[in-house]
Structures are given as C-alpha cells and as structure tokens.
C-alpha cells in the first residue's frame, strides 16, 4: 500500500519521502526544520489496523503546536471510528480509504491550498463554522459508532444527543425539538426506515429531518429509506469530510425551512392585522389556508378541520359568490354540524387563481336586501358623508361619526403594531344606540317626534350624559348614539343601564303623575368598536342598527350586547 501511494503521489508531481515505520516518520517530522526549505507540505498517514505505541506517538506529534497546521490525509482500510474521530478533531485533516486513493489529488490540493501561510492565513478559520443552532439526534446500537459520530459532529459545532434504541430515540424526540436525526439502518429491534417513518408520522416529532446511515451500499436499503421519508442515505465507510458535507447540506436545508416558517408566520401576522379573519381557497375550490383569527371566529379547535376540504362543503353548494367589492351574506356549515351566519368579501388573486375570503361572523340576522358596499376611502369627511346618506342619519350626526372614525383609526393602527386596547393611547370604546318611545294611554309604544316638548326634554337629558364633545348625538327622530370610553369592558353594560335609567326618569312637564309612573320606554344595542375595528364603519353602524331591529321586536326596556363574549369577565365563574 505504501509503495502504491508513493508512486501515485509522485505521478501527481509531489516529491515523496516514504517511511517504513511510524518511528521513522516521527523522526522525519522532528528533523524537517533542520535545513531551510525542507519542510513537508503534507503527510499521508496510514492508520494502523491495531493499536501501536509508535503510531500513537506519531499522531500525538502531529497534534502539537509545531505540526498542528500541517495537512494530513489519513489512509484507512476499514474507515474505523478511531481514525475518523482523530481526523475530526484536527484542522486540515481528511480520511480516505485506501481503495479510493485516486481521489488523493483533489484532496491534497484542497488541504494544501487552505494550509495557513502569509497569503491565506485567514482561510484556515473558515474550515469550521458555528452549527450550534442545529441539534442532531444520533441513533445507533453500536457504542463505538455513536460516540465517534458524536465527537465528529460536536467538533463541527453541532449539538448532539445519542440514543441506542428505538424507544430511547422516540423518548428523546418527544421531549426535545431536534433538527436532524441520523438513524442507523440495522438497529437491534427495528430498522432505520421504520423508525424514520414513525418519527415523521408522530405529531410531536414530525418536524424532524431524517437521514439513514448504513454500512452496506445496497439499492433496496436506499430505496426503503428514501420512501420512508429520509432526505439522505449515508454510508459508514465514506470519508468524514463527505459525511460532514452531507450533514452541512442538510443543515442548510433546515435553516432555509426555518426561515420559511418565520416568513410564513410573519405573513400570517400581517394578514391578521390587515385583513382580519380569512380563508384561502385554490382554483379547484379547495381550502388551502385558514388563519388564526378565522379559527377563533368560527369557534374551531384548529385549522385541520377545514384545510383540504372542499369550499362547497363550507359555503354555498356552488362555492363562494363572485369576487369583487360587494359584501355577501351566507350561512356557513361547519364540520361539527353548526351553522353560523357570515358576512364575507371575496377577492381574487389573479397570479395564482386563488380566492381570498375575508369574513366576519354575524351576531344578528341581516335581511336579504342589498348590503352596503365596503367603503374604501380613509378620508373621514367622505366616509362619514356616505354613512349618513346610506343609513339615513340626521345631518347633525356628522361630528359624532367623525369622532367614531378617529377611534376606529387609532384601534386599527394599534392592531397593526401589536398594541393592546385599554392603554392611554388605545382606549376601549363601545358604540351604544338608544331608541326612545312614548307610552300611550293604552300602553302601546309610539314615536315621540310629534310631542315636541317631550322630545326636547329627552334630547336635553341624553345629550348631556357625557361631557366629552361629540360623544353623544341624535341619529334620528327617536334614536341616539353614544361613544363610551371604558376602563374595563364590563363598564359598557353598567353605563348602558344607567343611560337607559336616565331616559326613563324623564317626565313630561305637563304631567300630573308621580315620578314613579313611567311615561317612556327605551331599547339599546351595544357594540365594541375596539374589538371590531377591522370592520368598516358603515358595517359596524349597520350591525348595531340591526341589533336595534331585533331588540325592538322583544319586550321594551331591553338591551342587546352584540359581542357578549367580552362581558363574560364581568360575571363570577359558575361551577358545572
């Protein structure tokens, strides 16, 4: 072997000093500096098949400060773990099988080119990199191979955890988030492809990237490993450099995958801030994405209940209504059997043919007549004017709606920046609508518009509820609007009852009845603007008015909380 490698190195243009023993090699290394210009450019070191004292001394010499930068190629017959571990712990060192000696030229050129000198001293530090962000799980029933792989990978900066059995591997993987699993193919109780399939199929471990390590180059082993989901099949008899290159390539894939996941999460966060609850469907009307706000709005446990299902199973039989600016109303049928009322807007992504459904859950029923088109302008004058025209509000409500518009703008900006409501900059604001009626002699409710004196008394009382300018307005003949700034959500209900009570205490000036006799009745509809800030102002006003239609069909002097979920904290928990 020495003769063959000597002649091959000479054919490559190298001058070669061949040593017949490790002792002779040690002496040659010690004496190389005795004459100027006789330093060796590299060492071809045949690794002994059995432990030898002189070989150990020679290896130790190559590790000391005088020789640590000298390029070394370890020639090995069986690529034993000791040789690979020693090479992994030393810079400018590679392992090459004797039978692959023809690959020596490229290996020597690479090692000698990166050896430190005055011109490229900085290049030597580039041979290793920080891989602490990648955690490896090494599974092998051979302790020698386990520990040698651990040493090899740790010297390259990887974090490494070892397992000797299938059970130990599954236990580690279930408790720790690993990036890459290196699985021996022939384990005592199973095979690497079976373990790979089990790791990928288990929810707690499914994100791991699996590779299979085998000592036998066999087509059926490679095929079974790749079919099980492994991204690579590696071989125990290949060089440490090649093994590390494979792991390094997989690490780059892991980092890219991690970056994609970060970008996907960022995109999901942006969508939630800008678009609210959304469902993405492909050109075949299959649901491909549901964001977190949509899951919460629909009351589902996770997105798996919808992703992959046909859109027609959730929406109308023929799929969503045509894309455009129009707001559609529909009954959605959820997988758990529930039916909910939904308002949604369908937008088409032309580049991919996908459809984006931006929706909100309807708390009260909306009639079948045309629903107001979403407002696109952010100009408060234009927006307020259109709301007044569309909903037939009193012209005096202009300043009130401008104030509402400003609160919504602040809340939307806070949502984009991730700020919570309730702070000094982002107050909790609710929109209250109050309808006032006069009780007739027969007990029936009637409009008070014809009773000018009573109407003035009611207006004087209600318009003076808040000291803040433009926080109370008369929206119609019998209808009043209030913007309530709250410290706690539960205050909205308390204030609503107090305002209703104040209204009921108004008594006509010409009345001879006692103050305990009721002359007025009222009903109320309350909606949080802060929690629903993603919706356009005209839709929020319309929903609150629809709530008034609903409560006015019931008993008088009732209040409807359109987003009752926010009130739950005001009540004590009840067991059972």
List pLDDT tens digits, range 41-52: 889 999 888 888
Residues 439 and 558 in one domain: yes
Q: Is the pLDDT of residue 575 over 50?
A: no
Residues 416 and 556 in one domain: yes
Residues 6 and 29 in one domain: yes
Give the residue with greater pLDDT, 565 vs 7: 7
Residues 184 and 226 in one domain: yes
Which residue, of 197, 230, 260, is where some domain finishes? 260
pLDDT 10s digits, 290-310: 888 788 778 787 777 888 888
Q: Is the pLDDT of residue 472 over 90?
A: yes
Closest by alpha carbon to 495, among 528, 540, 458, 446? Answer: 528
Tally of structural domains, the chain: 4
Give the residue with greater pLDDT, 427 vs 381: 427
For the chain, give the mean pLDDT: 79
Other CB atoms within 10 Å distance of the CB of residue 253:
14
Residues 93 and 219 in one domain: no
pLDDT value of residue 217: 74
Mean pLDDT, range 199-218, rounded to an integer: 88
Q: Is the pLDDT of residue 568 over 60?
A: no
Q: Is the pLDDT of residue 370 over 90?
A: no
Q: How confident is the model at residue 388 (pLDDT cuts 50, 70, 90)?
A: confident
Residues 312 and 435 in one domain: no
Range of the domain at 439: 380-570
Q: How confident is the model at residue 193 (pLDDT cuts 50, 70, 90)?
A: very high
Decide: 196 and 229 in contact? Cβ < 8 Å: yes
Residues 349 and 289 in one domain: yes
Q: Is the pLDDT of residue 490 over 60?
A: yes
Q: How confident is the model at residue 481 (pLDDT cuts 50, 70, 90)?
A: very high
Please classify residue 177 by burial: count the beta carbons closer than 10 Å to its beta carbon, then call 0-12 exposed, 13-18 middle and 19+ buried.
Answer: exposed
Residues 250 and 208 in one domain: yes
Q: Is the pLDDT of residue 507 over 50?
A: yes
Angle between helices 398-417 and 380-391 (to 10 degrees): 120
Q: Which of 95-104, 381-390, 462-471 is predicted with the least confidence, judged by mean pLDDT?
A: 381-390
Residues 249 and 184 in one domain: yes
Q: Which of 94-108, 340-354, 414-428 is predicted with the least confidence, judged by mean pLDDT?
A: 414-428
Alpha-carbon dihedral 552, 555, 559, 564, rounded to 10 degrees: -100
pTM confidence score: 0.38
Residues 75 and 180 in one domain: no
Decide: 509 and 545 in contact? Cβ < 8 Å: no
Which residue, of 299, 326, 361, is where some domain finishes? 361
Tokens of 555: 């008993």
Which residue, of 101, 124, 147, is where some domain finishes? 124
Q: Is the pLDDT of residue 38 over 70?
A: no
Decide: 438 and 518 in contact? Cβ < 8 Å: no
Select, from the ranges 125-129, 225-229, 323-327, the one with the highest average predicted confidence (pLDDT): 225-229
Residues 303 and 440 in one domain: no
Give the residue with greater pLDDT, 480 vs 412: 480
């Amino acid at each position: 072997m020495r003769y063959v490698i000597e002649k091959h190195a000479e054919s490559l243009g190298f001058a070669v000093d061949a040593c017949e023993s490790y002792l002779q090699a040690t002496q040659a290394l010690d004496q190389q500096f005795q004459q100027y210009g006789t330093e060796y450019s590299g060492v071809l070191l045949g690794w002994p098949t059995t432990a030898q004292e002189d070989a150990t001394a020679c290896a130790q010499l190559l590790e000391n400060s005088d020789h640590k930068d000298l390029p070394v190629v370890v020639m090995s017959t069986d690529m034993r773990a000791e040789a690979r571990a020693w090479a992994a712990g030393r810079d400018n060192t590679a392992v090459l099988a004797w039978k692959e000696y023809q690959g020596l030229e490229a290996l020597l050129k690479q090692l000698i080119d990166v050896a430190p000198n005055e011109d490229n001293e900085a290049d030597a530090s580039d041979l290793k990199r920080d891989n602490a962000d990648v955690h490896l799980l090494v599974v092998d029933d051979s302790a020698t191979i386990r520990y040698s792989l651990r040493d090899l990978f740790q010297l390259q900066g990887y974090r490494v955890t070892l397992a000797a059995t299938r059970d130990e591997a599954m236990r580690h993987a279930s408790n720790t988030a690993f990036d890459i699993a290196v699985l021996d193919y022939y384990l005592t109780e199973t095979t690497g492809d079976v373990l790979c399939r089990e790791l990928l199929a288990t929810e707690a471990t499914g994100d791991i990237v699996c590779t299979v390590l085998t000592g036998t180059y066999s087509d059926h082993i490679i095929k079974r490993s790749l079919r099980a989901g492994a991204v690579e099949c590696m071989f125990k008899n290949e060089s440490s450099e090649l093994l590390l290159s494979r792991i390094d390539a997989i690490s780059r894939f892991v980092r890219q995958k991690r970056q994609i996941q970060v970008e996907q999460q960022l995109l999901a966060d942006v969508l939630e801030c800008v678009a609210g609850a959304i469902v993405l469907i492909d050109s075949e009307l299959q649901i491909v994405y549901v964001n977190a706000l949509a899951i919460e709005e629909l009351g589902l446990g996770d997105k798996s209940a919808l992703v992959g299902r046909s859109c027609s199973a959730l929406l109308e039989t023929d799929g969503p209504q045509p894309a455009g600016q129009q707001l559609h109303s529909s009954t959605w049928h959820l997988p758990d059997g529930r039916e909910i009322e939904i308002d949604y807007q369908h937008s088409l992504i032309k580049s991919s043919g996908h459809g984006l459904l931006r929706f909100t859950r309807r708390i009260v029923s909306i009639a079948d007549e045309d629903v107001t088109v979403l407002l696109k302008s952010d100009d408060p004058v234009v927006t307020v004017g259109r709301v007044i025209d569309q909903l037939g509000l009193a012209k005096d409500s202009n300043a009130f709606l401008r104030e509402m518009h400003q609160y919504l703008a602040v809340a939307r900006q806070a949502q984009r920046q991730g700020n919570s409501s309730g702070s000094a900059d982002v107050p909790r604001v609710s929109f209250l609508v109050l309808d006032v009626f006069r009780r007739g002699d027969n007990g029936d409710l009637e409009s008070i518009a014809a009773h000018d004196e009573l109407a003035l008394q009611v207006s004087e009382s209600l318009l003076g509820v808040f000291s803040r300018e433009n926080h109370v307005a008369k929206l119609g003949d019998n209808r009043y609007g209030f913007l309530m700034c709250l410290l706690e959500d539960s205050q909205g209900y308390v204030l609503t009852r107090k305002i209703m009570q104040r209204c009921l205490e108004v008594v006509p000036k010409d009345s001879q009845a006692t103050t305990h006799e009721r002359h007025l009745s009222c009903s109320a509809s309350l909606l949080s603007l802060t929690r629903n800030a993603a919706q356009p102002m005209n839709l929020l006003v319309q929903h609150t008015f629809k709530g008034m239609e609903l409560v006015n069909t019931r008993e008088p002097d009732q209040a409807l909380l359109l987003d009752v979920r926010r009130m739950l904290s005001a009540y004590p928990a009840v067991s059972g």
